[in-house]
Every structure is written in structure tokens, then in C-alpha cells.
Structure 1
Amino acid sequence: MSSSTHITPERIAETERLIRAHIRHTPVIRADLGDFGLQQRTVDFKLEFLQHSGSFKARGAFANLLTRPVPEAGVVAASGGNHGAAVAYAAMRLGIPATIFVPNVTAPAKAERIRSYGANLIVSGERYADALAASEQFVTERNAMPVHAFDQTETLLGQGTLGVEIEADLPGITTLLVAVGGGGLIGGIAAWFRGRIKIVAVEPEGAPTLHMALNAGLPVDAPAEGIAADSLAPRRVGALMFPFARDFVTHSVLVSDDDIRAAQSALWERLRIVAEPGGAAAFSALLSQKYDAGPDERIGVLLCGANTGAVRF
């Protein structure tokens, strides 16, 4: 069966009801782009970085652990950091053993968070693909349950619950900017909205994973570089999310590392928001004007992660 058979608005709504007691309904704030040196217009920020474990990933983690039979060996996940932290957090809350594989590129703040939740953390390889291969070997040897960061039905259903919240919180938006790594987040959100709003994918120039897939007509290998490589640089987007991106993502925008740094700085200086590079990427498309919004668009920006040690007190 195709992913569209399993990942439907009805199932996303069911998943939202299932995980609701385990996740936060994150807030929205409205700002004026004039405060950022752009032409004056309002923009709504969805502050999903305030989710448990510091990113949207907790949604998919709980969706997996609450709907799939977990063996005695527990769960295993490969991650650039945020997915691993989310699985570790969900496993801790549900009393399930967790082993998390991360690559060397993982930010220290993310590794520390995973350890803080009591998971067994294993560093393996240089990039996400290396950690994924090591985790798959572990699954075979230990009979643990794998929880894929983006290419799994339950993960997409969980991330799609963010679409449910956004529609409830911002019923008037016409456009939503979403950062893309493996595509679980944008795929789940696109599966919820199904063309009812404009969804804009934002990726680093050094990791144009979805951009290349859309141009090729299918997921293909892409570079995995840049300052957001620990969250937005898998080898390729997931097969399950790709039909939703192909059908419902209207624009694909690439931003530079400097664009992302500028967005991080602006969010801190103007709103006192700390965002990791991947968490600030969606806003960087607006700030850099790589995405040129029309005058009638009502814009929402998803700030999806804040697991960074960039600000310390």
C-alpha cells in the first residue's frame, strides 16, 4: 500500500488524541517583520522548540512507543541529536530501555540531553547515515525495536499532529515555512493540510535533500554539509514522505549558512528566542528574502528546535 493509505488526516487526528497527554501544546507569538529590518507585515511563529526534549520530534517518538509492541530489549534510534533526545525522553517517561546512535557531528548539547534522559548513547561515524547503519546492526543483534527518525508511518503520523495544532492556533494563515531534513515534519504536516495552505520547504544549500528529490522526481542522495548538518542533513529524504512533498509542497527554498546564522542572531536580538541552526532555518528564508512572500499572504513560520549550547548563562 502507498503511504497515502496509512497517513491520512483521520489517522493523524487519532494520533493527536493518543499522544495529547504526553506532549505540550506549544504557543504561537506574532511579530512584525519591520522589527527585523524588512517591510512591515505580521508573521506568526509557532514555538515548537518549547516541546518536550527541545524539538518537534517528541510527537513522533510518542506515536511510535504508544502504538507499536516494544520488545524487552527496548527501542533503538539513529539520530543527528533531536530525534534521539525525543526517543530517549519518551522511553524514560514510559519506562522503556533506549539505545541511541549519533554521529560525531552531533552537537554536544544534544548528546548531553540524550544522556540526561537515561538512554545508552553510542557515537558512531561522521554523519547520520553512519549512525543509522550502526543502529540497524544493533537491531539485528539485540532484537530491539527501531524508531526511524522520518521514514516510518508512526513517525509521520506523530509529526503530522503539529499540523493539527497549527490549524487550530492559526486558522487564517495561507503560507507555512518549514525546515526540512529527512522530511518527516514537512511530510506529516503536508499530509494533514493536503493543499489547503501553501507549504514552503526550507533547506540549507549544503544539504538540499528535498530540493534534489523534487527535481529528480524521487528521493536521491544529496550532500550533507553545513552548520545544520546535525538536524537537516540525512543522505536522502524518506520514501514515505516524498509523495506528500511532491503533491503538496509548493515551494522549495535553499538558504546559506550565513542566512541561518543571521536568523539565529535576529531571533535572539529581537525576540529573545534561542534557536539551533535547523530550528532557525525556516525563518532564514524570510529574513534573507530567499522566499518572497506576496502581499496577501498570511505567513506562519515553524521554529522547530532549540537544542544548542550557543547561549549559556
Structure 2
Amino acid sequence: MLELSGVTKSYGSRRVLDDVAFRIEPGRLTGFVGGNGAGKTTTMRIALGVLSADAGTVTLGGQPVTADDRRRFGYMPEERGLYPKMKVGEHIAYLARLHGFGKPDAAAAAERLLTRLGLAERLGDRVETLSLGNQQRAQIAAALVHDPEVLILDEPFSGLDPLAVDVVAGVLAERAAAGAAVLFSSHQLDVVERLCDDLVIIAGGTIRAAGSREALRTQHARLRYDLSSADDLGWLRDEPGVTVVDFAGGDAVFDADSPETAQRVLRRAVATGSVTAFAPQHPTLAEIFTEVIR
């Protein structure tokens, strides 16, 4: 487990991180979200040892992170950093060799990973000839080729089409399933919500929310319900303690002032018609994000 505790960072009189604390668990995907300038990249660079914090600690398994530990990290920066004149397959194999792979194993690992990322036909192409989306896939391969125990990716889905997003999401899920601790930032909240196990939301250099996806949904849940019936639900508008959010004949979304009110509505709906669906409506990540950064 990689854990940040009390991490603070200032540039002159401007404090960019203030008492940042969260953990990245092995075998789990942690989504790191926040607006531009919120502090995501600075936090990641401190975790990696690229920047030093003014205060606070970064630990791995409860111990301070060492240089040897960080050799088992994988990092994909937001800016692309591959050598444009190198061939894709040779470049990724070269990076594997820097991590101690023998030449045959490095070549095999590079080919296997690039194929999984959909670049099998581009192994012999120079990096600079790839589209921006394919360069992004190659950059992800560079972070993954040495099978890191901790994986930190800054905007890995940027510039990818929907099919490529699914491929990369699948690769990251596989790495987490194999036991890696994975942290990734993204502005694509729908992708984060679909993929991650845990969420960290940062704004103004402070952590506004952190925890499992389901725990945050429960914590920020409203008493909002979906109700569908074979009969018209127009009577809902006059029901005490109910605010109708959306209505279309036999389908309605409503807010209740208490769980007891919701159950009273359900009993009436069952008594007056054929109920086909009734369920609480969970808040989306976008709704949670908007709520906590206000």
C-alpha cells in the first residue's frame, strides 16, 4: 500500500498542497480527480520522488519510500516523453532493459504489451509517425513494461477514442487484478466512475473526498428514487413530502423527505397499480464532485 500523509507543498507564498492524505491499495484502481490546477500532478510527482514535499510523508507498506522501491514504480506523465526517432517496439524494449530485463525477455515483453494495447502493426514504426492516440498507448506501454508494483498515470485516457479507452481500461484492470496498486488521474469522470474501485477528489490543494466508490455514493446519496408503474403516477405531485424531479406517465423520479415517505409512496403505488420498478437513485461521480468542491 502506498500512502501519503500530511503532504504539503508551497511555491513561494502560494500553497499548492495542504495536508494531502490518502492511500492507494494493492489490487485496486484509484481514480484521482480534480480541476486544472487542483494539485493532482504535484501530488503524483511527490509520490514518485520527482518533487520533494515541504512536510508530510510518503510510505510503501508502512515504511518510507526508498530509491529501490521507486524502481518498482511505473509512471506515465501527462506530457509525452518518448524518443521520437526510435522505433516503437525497440523503444519499449529498451525501457524494459533499463529495468533489468535481458534482451530477449525485454523484446518479448514489449511485443506482448504493445500487442495488447493494439499496436502490433506499429512495432517497427518510429514514435513520431504515430497518431497522438497511438503515442499515448505507447507512453502507457512505457510505464507498464517492467510489471510495476505501483502504477501512477497522469491523464492516461487523454486523446484516446472510445475503443482505445476500453483497451487501456482493460489493461489497467488486469494490472490491478494481478496485485498492482494503480492511481490514475482523468478529467473523464464517466471513465473514472466505470473503472475505479476507489476515488480521491482534490480541489485547491486539499483532499475533499476519498474512499471506495460505493462508500462515497452512499455518503452523498440523496433520497431520490425511480418508480415505474403500468398506471399513471400523476398522484405523486400531491403526495406530502415528495418532490417530483421527472415525470412521464407511468415513470417518475422523485425526491422524498425521508425513507418512510418513500416507502409510503411505494405502498400506494402497489395498491393502485402494477409496479414494475422501484429503486433508489445513486449519485454520479460528476454529482459528487460538484457537491464536494463547492
Higher radius of gyration, 1 or 2: 2
TM-score normalised over the length of structure 1: 0.25
Q: Relative to total residues, which structure has the larger helix share, 1 or 2?
A: 1
Q: Relative to total residues, which structure has the larger strand share, 1 or 2?
A: 2
TM-score normalised over the length of structure 2: 0.26
